[in-house]
Structure 1
Amino acid sequence: MFKKYDIIVVGAGHAGCEAAAAAANLGSSVLLITMNMGTIAQMSCNPAMGGVAKGQIVREIDAMGGYSGIVADKSTIQFRMLNLSKGPAMWSPRTQNDRMRFSEEWRSMLEKTPNVDFWQDTVKEILTKGDKVSGVKTSLGIEIESEAVVLTNGTFLNGIIHIGEKRFGGGRTAEKSSTGLTEQLVELGFEAGRMKTGTPPRVDGRSLDYSKMEEQWGDPVRGRFSFTDVEMSSDQRCCWITYTNQAVHDTLKEGFEKSPMFTGRIKGLGPRYCPSIEDKINRFAERERHQIFVEPEGWNTVEIYVNGFSTSLPEDVQYRALTQIPGFENVKMFRPGYAIEYDYFPPTQLSLTLETKVVKNLFFAGQINGTTGYEEAASQGFIAGINAHQKIKDQHELIMKRSESYIGVLIDDLVTKGTEEPYRMFTSRAEHRLLLRQDNADIRLSPIAHKLGLINDERLEKVTKKIKDSDFLVTYLKNTSIEASEVNSFLEELGTSPLSQNVKMFSLLSRPQVDMSDLRKAIPTFNNLLNSYDKETIEQAEIKVKYESYFEKELEIVNKMRKMEDQEINPDFNYHNMVSLSKEAREKLMKIKPRTLGQASRISGVSPSDISVLMVHISK
């Protein structure tokens, strides 16, 4: 019935979809197995993509030929660039999305991707030959052979849903959990753990009084994630903001004795940076109110996502508390919020390619690795799909560096440091975030993708042109003088000191108070020149001018670190024989098996003196 596939991808969430697409676009035959063909790439929680650091990840996936950015753009109902009041390293694109259209677009793109087949079933176990994966076995008893397997099981492994004192098996509301696979993997030698996440109630938008809320519109000129010319609507929908109050908090407290979080029924740790509403009012008792974001689920639905009100309290307590939020007095609830507890596998059991150390050609991606978020999952799936293909085709593996991408930071953090709570990406996790901006993701990563074969010549030429044109503008600004009399009155209007002599335009643009739009207004000839360039090229040139000295310092640090990052260590090296290392360092190094000296230096418990010993040994 089934041919032998190059790669089987288990699970069709964000990680699984990107894994299937990447491997197929590289030329592998792929079978994508999902428990429900109707929920491919479903937004299980919030109907949004991007945000702080997450938006950078989506742009990185797109720059390398992934699909998440295109799908997000096609299904956007509102776009906002966050943190514009801060420096460009912090600018983060975010979209509200049409939940149903998002899933439809993903399925459509996968169906149009050659080499991807689909099968609706549950994988109960992986098949192995010796220490290598050889396929999967499904709940229907079907054995399907493959050269590699990518597991992206999300929250379905032994998933348990909690609502108050009620608990029942499920990987998502109204969807059954997956059993058997965790137990088999543990038998094979894997270590497993439990984690928890949650979701808020969904309500009927027709029952809300928006006059009592603050409007939150998107950017006047809609941006995009994708570097491609995706056709998308310019229309946007409004979101709203309201707040909890003491009455809401008091009502929620009435349900604490039935809360699975506070009674100990939930053992897994939840995401620290996305706490439930009961956790918020318990941990931050001094706060009189908490922000609630009222977010539409799509263009053609009245369903509303109550962002900021994630909860697992009894449904009647949830409802009574909601009715005391301004604008929610007559609310009708579609479905209650809930917590879900599920199995994950500590990611220190993986190599930097996301291949497991226990079973060859078996890859893990997404929440199975202890992460939270669509974007984090998608990026892991993308890299796992690439490396599964590269491994079975005897091609060079792809390992993303911390200095070249947020994806590299994410994977290095997981594999090197592990995680005991759901891992979420933040800009603060990247030590070189000034270089890892959302605006230059294509410049950083598209050449890598082109070399792999994930993007075509036309896309690379577009990136090359962006680099060439932005460099030309910077050179023009450095070489072109401006007369003081031409701009002094304008500078005074901007609140910056006038010129006492003629200066180069580069010097003028370097001032914090002056931007490209100011120069366009003040200098007609320059405005005419910029009319020949697109918005992204002009933005790129401006950022290069304003942060040139910072970039130079950052690159110096990267180059110093590169010596350690490029110093490879034999993965089979036996650290137990190095008695000059501390005992803890030997244990940690044997467990992680770092690929480079740089990775070894980031392992918790490995001291600078241990690294010095390793450096001496490697140099010999």
Structure 2
Amino acid sequence: MFQQEEYDVIVVGAGHAGCEAAAAAATLGSKVLLVTMNMNTIAQMSCNPAMGGVAKGQIVREVDALGGLSGIITDKTMIQFRMLNRSKGPAMWSPRAQSDRMRFAEEWRLALEQTPNVDFWQEAVTGLLVEDGVCVGVKTQLGIEYRAKSVVLTNGTFLNGLIHIGEKQFGGGRMAEKGSTGLTEQLLELGFEAGRMKTGTPPRVDGRSLDYSKMEEQPGDEVPGKFSYLDTPALPKQRPCYITYTNPEVHEILKEGFEKSPMFQGRIKGLGPRYCPSVEDKINRFADKDRHQIFVEPEGWSTVEVYVNGFSSSLPEDVQYRALRKIAGFENAKMFRPGYAIEYDFFPPTQLLPTLETKRVANLYFAGQINGTTGYEEAACQGLMAGINAHRKVHGEAPFVLSRSQAYIGVLIDDLVNKGTDEPYRMFTSRAEHRLLLRQDNADLRLTPLGYELGLASEERMQLVREKEQQTQAVAKILKSFGIEAADINGWLTEIGSAEISEKTRAVNLLRRPGVELPALAAALPGLALALAPYRPDALEQAEILVKYEAYLEKEHQQAARMQELENFIIQGRLDYQAMPALSHEAREKLLKIQPETLGQASRISGVSPADVSVLMVYLGR
């Protein structure tokens, strides 16, 4: 037997999910083996060179707050930072960073190599070792067997991956990389249900061949922020992105390739991401639009490679090339490689427990695109949770599950295991019913105490959170007590188009007005500015949000508490739902399949009505 050492956790795949899973389990003290088909593509950004975005940025902040590494790696390697949706309320503010693709992957590899307890093996895993319904290791292409107390599968788009470019198709997990075979077939034999999904990527072009003067520049924030709550390096300079547009001529050329489109001709069976359609899909579905936005994104500080965001395509390469050259600024574009679509196997996530352990095979965990999700951020948070839970189970510790009112991570996993997905699942702020509680600015306050208790978040992190909490409370107290005379503020209020005051008021009352923000108010009142001078910017921002939205936050906390009452109804063991005739037929079918652990979980299963929940409540009460 080759390398007979037994591991606590084996992680299969070194994408965003696999990296977070390995780092988390190892940091917690498990002996980890990370198996990847290619050591040179660890944490590869297979699609766009960016982290974060609407709801996704909140997830990266949550991963960081718990003690994960995605936020730190992003801060070290970003080339631009923007806080999206600043014109909206704080529940919508979403950090996003353009990353240096090569440096991002390099930093992740170095971070993993410097993490004690992580071993590496470069080879394809072709099977699992399963004994009496328990996963006890993996088998590789060379026939080597590695044994472990738990296994986390994070196979991304590699399971029976099939790449499409026009009428050409070939096996692969990414362009120029082999797919993975054997695992799907074994999992089907073990009784798992599988499906096919599709995703795509645009062409990459030579930035030296583009005319940026014909495009709109999209700079980063004047004062760039960060993802990590730790003291990661500030971004001293930034690279701009650019915006251009397709046009009717581009659309006509693309239509010429429709007869060879694998999507329109039915060669692709998997469902693609609804919210990130290919350019041919956009032209087909939105025939009334004569142009579509194209984001021109540099891939790093030094490389000339450019990512053409918004031009994802699986049309023939010559059609892509001719159409691309009709876009403003792309007239002389040189293509590095064409866009393509990729089909791959996934396993409907209703087959998982909320810990991401499979129901059919004990000690086997799924994380990332294998569960039907799309996006680096969605994958990273699943990997983190799977790594934590794999470690805790093999060490006899209680499962770690986040609720929907605690984190976007909780919303994502709850959606997956209860509702499943038949198209690539992407996180949006609208999926979270408590999004005012789940802001990007307070992820550390929400989750770092939990990460610290787990042993994943460091003492340094916890100390920063304590300081922030103390300062936030102190600032809130100042805002609620600081008196403002009408003569001192009415001139400024008139300037900004806000009604004057007739008598003395408190700072908090003015802050609750639309259009009044703390930095500007403090600038207008030297006494207030002096009182707030000793406090950290993040504490000032946090206190402003808390006092501005106090009534709304209280209402959301009350709603969350009411939902938690349902979560406290524990469903012990497997119930025979077929023997409950008062339940609807659909509810009996879904409950039998998913086997929820709490009444709250049962209430969120598609097809289970409030009336069905009432029936269950009576049954459980008995």
Q: What is the TM-score when the length of structure 2 is the normalising length? A: 0.99
**2:445 corresponds to which residue?**
443
Deviation digits for residues 4-44 of structure 1, max 9, x if unmatched? 00000000000000000010011000000000000000000
Helix, strand or coil: the match of 1:304? Answer: strand
Q: Which amino acid aligns with 2:594?
A: I
Select the residue among 371, 377, 380 that pairs with 2:379: 377
**2:155 corresponds to which residue?**
153
Displacement of 1:577: 2.1
Distance of 2:404 and 2:169 partners within structure 1: 41
Displacement of 1:508: 1.5
**1:128 corresponds to which residue?**
130
Deviation digits for residues 171-193 of structure 1, max 9, x if unmatched? 00000000011000000000000
Helix, strand or coil: the match of 1:89? Answer: coil
Please say if residues 79 and 94 of structure 1, whose CA atoms lie closer than 8 Å, have aligned partners that are also in contact: yes
**1:367 corresponds to which residue?**
369
Please say if residues 23 and 30 of structure 1, whose CA atoms lie closer than 8 Å, have aligned partners that are also in contact: yes
**2:101 corresponds to which residue?**
99
Select the residue among 400, 412, 415 that pairs with 2:414: 412
**2:323 corresponds to which residue?**
321
Cα 1:481/1:387, change in 2 over 3 Å? same
**1:579 corresponds to which residue?**
581
Worse-superposed segment, 285-294 or 488-497: 488-497
Deviation digits for residues 235-293 of structure 1, max 9, x if unmatched? 10011000000000000000000000000000000000000000000000000100000
Aligned residues: 620
Distance of 2:607 and 2:519 partners within structure 1: 51
Select the residue among 544, 550, 563 that pairs with 1:561: 563
Please say if residues 154 and 368 of structure 1, whose CA atoms lie closer than 8 Å, have aligned partners that are also in contact: yes
Distance of 1:520 and 1:585 partners within structure 2: 56
Please say if residues 208 and 327 of structure 1, whose CA atoms lie closer than 8 Å, have aligned partners that are also in contact: yes
**1:284 corresponds to which residue?**
286
Distance of 1:38 and 1:520 partners within structure 2: 51
Displacement of 1:232: 4.1
Worse-superposed segment, 555-564 or 43-52: 555-564
Displacement of 1:573: 2.1
**1:460 corresponds to which residue?**
462
Select the residue among 37, 40, 63 that pairs with 2:39: 37
Distance of 1:117 and 1:552 partners within structure 2: 47
Distance of 1:120 and 1:148 partners within structure 2: 19
Worse-superposed segment, 376-385 or 524-533: 524-533
State yes or no: 1:179 paired with 2:181. Answer: yes
Worse-superposed segment, 504-513 or 9-18: 504-513
Q: Which amino acid aligns with 2:23?
A: A
Q: Which amino acid aligns with 1:461?
A: Q
Please say if residues 24 and 456 of structure 2, whose CA atoms lie closer than 8 Å, have aligned partners that are also in contact: yes
Deviation digits for residues 365-387 of structure 1, max 9, x if unmatched? 00000000000000000000000
Alignment of 1:78-89 (within 5 A): 78-89=80-91
Q: Which amino acid aligns with 1:278?
A: E
Displacement of 1:102: 0.2
Deviation digits for residues 439-495 of structure 1, max 9, x if unmatched? 000000011101101112231121122111111111111122111111111111111
Alignment of 1:470-485 (within 5 A): 470-485=472-487
Please say if residues 67 and 458 of structure 2, whose CA atoms lie closer than 8 Å, have aligned partners that are also in contact: no
**1:65 corresponds to which residue?**
67
Runs (4 or more) in structure 1 with deviation over 4 Å come to none
Please say if residues 158 and 342 of structure 1, whose CA atoms lie closer than 8 Å, have aligned partners that are also in contact: yes
Alignment of 1:381-392 (within 5 A): 381-392=383-394
Uncovered stretches (5+) of structure 2, i.e. residues with no partner: none
Please say if residues 571 and 594 of structure 1, whose CA atoms lie closer than 8 Å, have aligned partners that are also in contact: no
Displacement of 1:341: 0.3
Helix, strand or coil: the match of 2:177? Answer: coil
State yes or no: 1:350 paired with 2:352. Answer: yes
Helix, strand or coil: the match of 1:472? Answer: helix
**2:12 corresponds to which residue?**
10
Uncovered stretches (5+) of structure 1, i.e. residues with no partner: none
Distance of 1:144 and 1:91 partners within structure 2: 45
Q: Percent identity?
A: 68
Please say if residues 150 and 390 of structure 2, whose CA atoms lie closer than 8 Å, have aligned partners that are also in contact: yes
Q: Which amino acid aligns with 2:278?
A: S
Worse-superposed segment, 345-354 or 531-540: 531-540
Select the residue among 334, 337, 357 that pairs with 1:335: 337
Distance of 2:507 and 2:168 partners within structure 1: 67
Displacement of 1:570: 1.6
**1:603 corresponds to which residue?**
605
Over the residues paired in the alignment, what is the CA RMSD in angstroms?
Answer: 0.8
Helix, strand or coil: the match of 1:477? Answer: helix
Distance of 2:78 and 2:105 partners within structure 1: 12
Q: What is the TM-score when the length of structure 1 is the normalising length? A: 0.99
Helix, strand or coil: the match of 1:222? Answer: coil
State yes or no: 1:506 paired with 2:508. Answer: yes
**1:551 corresponds to which residue?**
553
Alignment of 1:206-217 (within 5 A): 206-217=208-219
**1:615 corresponds to which residue?**
617
Distance of 1:549 and 1:579 partners within structure 2: 43
Q: Which amino acid aligns with 1:105?
A: E
